[in-house]
């Protein structure tokens, strides 16, 4: 296996103008989806990449014309692209139809919603589908038994290789108690424990996700999950990742789209956009488990939290609200990029991760 470099962009929520509905409660700025993605792809074309990963929410709501537009853009790139579906991608298209749009981008067998590819000599990519539906039509974030059984058989055959896993929903918590919180658990894979056990037993160390619209790197028992923020949400990030065989390291370099034509102050505008829509979200955060504040106590705290989610999304945030009651202050401090001792650990955007995998030369 040689050293290699690839890019990750996530949740581009592609929406051509005719498909954009006026939704005052929408948190992401889909109006910039086309120019932002076009700008990022132009940057990626100008550098040497081995491939590009897009872990879901490719389109705003799975509109066929948005899938078609994106498919055409990806086909023009000089490097391979691999995708998986997000929860938005199957709203209007349908889950079974999704792979047929992306046969050139992972789904060589469009009758199967998951796949395995040897993307480079000694490097294997596993693309998983975390979207399922209950009998009542409710959308779930879970891996079905068919995929888990497939993984159980596949992973032992890849022990001599470096394995990358891509899935939309979060597998490792990126927020305090995310899997148990009313607002956070819908971003988590319901049976994350089963997947993590499979990956740990076979020495898989790298997972790439989206969905949460934040820049964050989390770890669990030697497994790293790299979640990448949305291209249509502040701070409009994407990542360049280099794997070095000699040092057994993964070097992560994050970039942000600060401005694009007709949106010269994109970063400032989108941060304000997020803040303008934060009131209800912050009230719910304050009045839900585990804080459970009465509304009269929560209301005066909300204005100070206007930019809280934007700062979470940017990654590497350190939080201190000295005017808050001590219990509430400690709660929000726990969202910061700190270790168990409370020391800063700034790895969400720029990081070098050390792998334990014994890389072997497959040339």
Confidence of residue 24 (pLDDT cuts 50, 70, 90): confident
Of 168, 17, 171, 19, the C-alpha closest to 93 is: 19
How many Cβ atoms are within 10 Å of 160's Cβ, its own excluded?
12
pLDDT at 92: 87
Query: What pLDDT sits at residue 81?
Result: 98
What does the pLDDT look like over 204-243, one tens digit per residue?
999 999 999 999 999 999 999 999 999 999 999 999 999 9
The pLDDT confidence band at residue 362, using thresholds 50, 70 and 90, is: very low
The model's pTM: 0.96
Which residues contact residue 51 at a Cβ distance below 8 angstroms, ignoring those fewer than 6 apart?
A: 6, 7, 79, 80, 81, 82, 119, 120
Measuring CA to CA, which residue among 320, 128, 103 is closest to residue 209?
128
At the top level of CATH, which class does the domain 4-258+350-354 belong to? alpha beta
Residue environment code for 183-206, b if the CB has 16+ CB neighbours within 10 A, otherwise e: ebbbbbbbbbebbbebbeebbbbb
Find, among 117, 167, 164, the residue nearest to 144 by Cα: 167
Q: What are phi and psi of 224, to 5 degrees?
A: -100, 135
- pLDDT tens track for 260-305: 988 999 999 999 999 999 999 999 999 999 999 999 999 999 999 9
3-class SS at 27? coil
Closest to 67 in 3D by CA, of 83, 50, 52 = 83
What is the per-residue pLDDT across 134-175, written as a single tens digit (0 to 9) for each? 888 888 999 999 999 999 999 999 998 999 999 999 999 999
- At 363, the pLDDT band (50, 70, 90 cuts) reads very low
* Orientation angle between helical segments 145-154 and 192-201, nearest 10 degrees: 10
Residues forming CATH 3.60.21.10 domain(s) in the chain: 4-258+350-354
Beta bridge partners of 52: 7, 81
Q: Residues 19-47: what's their mean pLDDT?
A: 92
Range 337-351 average pLDDT: 91
Q: Could you tell me the two tokens for 63? A: 């509109």
Q: How far apart are CA 313 and CA 271, in angstroms?
A: 10
Residues 6+ apart with CB under 8 A from 278: 305, 306, 307, 308, 309
């Amino acid at each position: 296996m040689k050293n290699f470099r690839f890019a990750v962009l996530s949740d581009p929520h592609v929406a051509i103008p005719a498909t954009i509905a006026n939704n005052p409660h929408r948190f992401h700025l889909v109006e910039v989806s086309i120019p932002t993605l076009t700008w990022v792809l132009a940057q990626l074309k100008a550098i040497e990449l081995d491939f590009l990963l897009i872990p879901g929410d490719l389109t705003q709501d799975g509109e066929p014309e948005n899938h078609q537009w994106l498919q055409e853009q990806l086909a023009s790139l000089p490097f391979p692209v691999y995708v998986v579906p997000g929860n938005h991608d199957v709203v209007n298209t349908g889950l079974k139809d999704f792979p047929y749009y992306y046969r050139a981008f992972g789904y060589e067998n469009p009758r199967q919603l998951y796949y395995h590819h040897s993307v480079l000599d000694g490097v294997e990519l596993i693309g998983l589908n975390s979207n399922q539906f209950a009998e009542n039509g409710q959308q779930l974030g879970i891996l079905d038994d068919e995929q888990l059984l497939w993984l159980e058989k596949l992973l032992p055959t890849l022990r001599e290789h470096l394995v990358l896993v891509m899935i939309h929903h979060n597998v490792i918590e990126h927020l305090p108690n995310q899997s148990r919180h009313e607002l956070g658990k819908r971003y988590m894979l319901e049976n994350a424990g089963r997947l993590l056990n499979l990956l740990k037993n076979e020495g898989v160390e790298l997972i790439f996700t989206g969905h949460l619209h934040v820049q964050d790197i989390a770890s669990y028992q030697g497994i790293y999950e790299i979640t990448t923020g949305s291209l249509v949400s502040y701070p409009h990030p994407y990542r360049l990742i280099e794997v070095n065989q000699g040092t057994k390291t993964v070097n992560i370099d994050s970039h942000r789209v600060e401005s694009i034509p007709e949106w010269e102050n994109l970063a400032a505008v989108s941060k304000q956009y997020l803040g303008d829509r934060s009131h209800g979200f912050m009230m719910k955060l304050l009045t839900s488990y585990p804080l459970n504040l009465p509304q009269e106590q929560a209301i005066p705290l909300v204005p100070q939290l206007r930019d809280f989610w934007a700062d979470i999304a940017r990654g590497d945030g350190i939080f201190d609200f000295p005017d808050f009651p001590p219990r509430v202050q400690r709660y929000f401090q726990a969202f910061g990029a700190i270790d168990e001792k409370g020391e800063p650990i700034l790895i969400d955007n720029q990081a070098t991760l050390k792998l334990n995998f014994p890389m072997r030369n497959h040339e």
